[in-house]
Structure 1
């Protein structure tokens, strides 16, 4: 602890965002470039170096948060980078995309604003690249064993990097034309510029990991053939089977899944398209779903110059403070949070009828109606109570030329035939079954990430990747020195 009184003398200060009017005119990250480093050492001073740091348990990676906070406060960036990378392969991803359950578990958060753990993490990661601390770490010798990783999202990439560094020959198979999974085509550029992803992929290539893009295992390559080529296979395809909204009018044109819409805007940023064929420009947009994916759609529609954007959330508007009776510290509370996209919608007044920013809370979709050509024009909704039952007399209609469904995901997509061809067992909810060692019922085939856990956070995805790598290494060699931060059955802290 560099400053024993830092948490008492220094207020919380976060990485400032660029002005709304400026940032909605481009696709760059929303934060002010270069504004983080001048404030971060003092923010790290706020860490109390607790005797029992609950931030460790709140983070599935077990990040050594008090240690690297202390090192940052002393401006020992190399040592801070070493401690951060000891538990997290991709801190520049989590520092931008993770909702920071570690901050909810910060002891200071019992009665004060938490330490800005996420900002400190991001600052260390960016400084590591700037100073050359994140150089490739190829293995000293090869094991002669081969592993195929199916999926190049955060779970697949973390597993591949760990196994490559352990000396195994690893090939990552990705069905899209570029690597990164949802980080590539699901996360908008304004949340994480893809240069961060490309930089890490370059490191992995230099370490020896092989990548195979535009290969859908099960369709372009038979799963049995892949299994025969490798000593072990890791399924890390994510949970990409989206949930549907079965209401009258769903068949109308102009109603799309969020993950049909978001990849197109990302392809515009990649230079593949001049304009998205689903562009929200000049349209009245309604987003059904109150989660992060819905917020990503919101920020994207604003940048495409939508006429209006409204987001529907079936839950009631949460309070600004933690309810200690329902969600006591150190659990991650459901409170009112203002993302960058919601801040933009609020300031630009894109949804005048919304309860707050662009959101309508406690709202459930009843049906859609269209015009004579079969295109959606209206969304009919009703308010619901805590049991999600309609409240009489609360029906209303919103104009809707474009409707985006952001209702989450139920499990891995089975259209490619991978799961059925391998014969791996699945759970009733659609996720892949596995034992305590991440192994499926098929010898040599392992499952990790959202494909087996179900829809989760990026920090859990990376933890799964690191853990399954340890399991595969043990399977191939009889022992493993790789860290295993979680078990398949671990879950976030709840009451």
Structure 2
């Protein structure tokens, strides 16, 4: 712990984000940073709680409680409080390959299960984590660390999102020759193209990728494994082991009347196209999917929906509205949501904050269901028809959305973005390799083992567990690397 009485003396302080109406004019990160002295104070709030639930990393009621990668949070809080930043970075890197990512984009389940959070606002764990990582790069402490010896074993990692990168980093650390295949034109997976620049600047991603390349990892872009040019079966012949980290990339669709109209897109396509246009830095090219001067409707909540709202704001949309089929969360924890569960409470995320600053209110509408899209004479979406619902139970106790009479409404819509989550991995690779699936169509591989039904082929991340958090993906990638190393060498020293 830091200061024994710090949690009594100091109040929780977070860095103020850049003003909403200022930041929607650019694509720079909206985060700001606390000064070193204030970070020391915040670290001093970490209390001697006996059992630190912040790093337990368990699932309670289907949601993460504590840090899934078991970050040694009290230890590096204590080191920051005493000004030992380099040692804090060493402790952080013991469990987390990429704290500069999680410190920016993780929803911080660690803070939701902070013991201090029972009676006071929790410790600012996420802010301190990002500060440690950023300081490590600023001071030159984070440098390439290639392995001292090579085993001669070759491993292919398919997918370069957080699970693929963490898996590759760990396997390379064990001395294996690692090749990462990515079908996009840049490495990073959802870190590159699924999370917009204002939340995770792509120079932060590229900086880590370049460091990993200097450590000996080979990255191959434009490699769509499973296509004619890159058959999945060839990987098993060329490599000693294969780890599949392809993500859950099949978006949930909305099969209602008018779905085939122009102007209706999956959220991930909108975000991907926007980031690629930004990174290509071609001011003469036309934005593939633009929200400029349009009435935008985002169907679905969650992080992806928020990112769509924020991106539409930066395009200069005429209006933005977000639909959520669930009820508005309560302002405070309810009796059926006790600590240390993740607090299911109302939050105004960065995108909604920006929309509220520009248009006067939170853009989210709760307990609403879209029934029909209607178009103009050019087969382009023009309006969207909804009905309000309430959640009722059938005779078997299952909940279903019950329409509320006379609650129909028509909304103007020039651009509709579907952000309703993902159904699982694509079929191509699994079919070519004859991999078994679970009931949710994910690749079947037991947690902790990560081995598929085909010897030498492993699966990790969203492809195995379904759509989840970046921090869970890192956890899975590290675990799959450990078991892959054990398969190759008979034993493993990887954590």
Instruction: Give the shorter-chain TM-score range.
Output: over 0.9
Distance across 1 between alignment mates of 2:302 and 2:446 = 30
Distance across 1 between alignment mates of 2:158 and 2:253 = 25
Other structure's SS at 2:467 match: coil
Cα pair 1:267 1:273 within 8 Å, conserved: no
List per-residue Cα deviations over 1:28-70 (Å, max 9, x = no partner). Answer: 00023x5454521111111103210000111110000000001
2:104 to 96, 101, 104: 96
TM-fit CA distance, 1:110: 0.6
**In the TM superposition, what are the counterparts of 1:236-251 in structure 2 within 5 Å?**
236-251=245-260
TM-fit CA distance, 1:435: 3.1
Cα pair 2:226 2:232 within 8 Å, conserved: yes
Distance across 2 between alignment mates of 1:314 and 1:256 = 19
Q: Which residue does 1:360 correspond to in 2? A: 365
Distance across 2 between alignment mates of 1:155 and 1:277 = 29
Other structure's SS at 1:95 match: helix
Distance across 2 between alignment mates of 1:272 and 1:234 = 33
Q: Which residue does 2:272 correspond to in 1? A: 263
Other structure's SS at 1:78 match: helix
Q: Which residue does 1:398 correspond to in 2? A: 411
Q: Which residue does 2:59 correspond to in 1? A: none
1:465 to 477, 481, 488: 477
Cα pair 1:177 1:214 within 8 Å, conserved: yes
Distance across 2 between alignment mates of 1:465 and 1:36 = 33
> Do structure 1's residue 480 and structure 2's residue 492 form an aligned pair?
yes
Cα pair 2:14 2:34 within 8 Å, conserved: no
TM-fit CA distance, 1:481: 1.1
| Pairs aligned (count) | 474
1:199 to 207, 221, 224: 207
Structure 1: gaps spanning 5 or more residues: 484-495
TM-fit CA distance, 1:251: 1.0
Q: CA, structure 1 residues 407+422, in 2 after alignment: closer, same or farther (shift >3 Å)?
A: same
Distance across 2 between alignment mates of 1:100 and 1:115 = 11
TM-fit CA distance, 1:333: 2.1
> Do structure 1's residue 60 and structure 2's residue 68 form an aligned pair?
yes
Distance across 1 between alignment mates of 2:89 and 2:70 = 15
Distance across 2 between alignment mates of 1:439 and 1:366 = 42
TM-fit CA distance, 1:16: 1.1
> Do structure 1's residue 173 and structure 2's residue 181 form an aligned pair?
yes
Distance across 1 between alignment mates of 2:277 and 2:222 = 19
TM-score, normalised with respect to structure 1: 0.94
**In the TM superposition, what are the counterparts of 1:296-307 in structure 2 within 5 Å?**
296-307=307-318
Cα pair 2:2 2:46 within 8 Å, conserved: no
Q: CA, structure 1 residues 246+37, in 2 after alignment: closer, same or farther (shift >3 Å)?
A: farther
**In the TM superposition, what are the counterparts of 1:64-83 in structure 2 within 5 Å?**
64-83=72-91
Other structure's SS at 2:403 match: coil
**In the TM superposition, what are the counterparts of 1:362-381 in structure 2 within 5 Å?**
362-381=367-386
Distance across 2 between alignment mates of 1:52 and 1:360 = 40
Structure 2: gaps spanning 5 or more residues: 57-65, 393-400
TM-score, normalised with respect to structure 2: 0.94
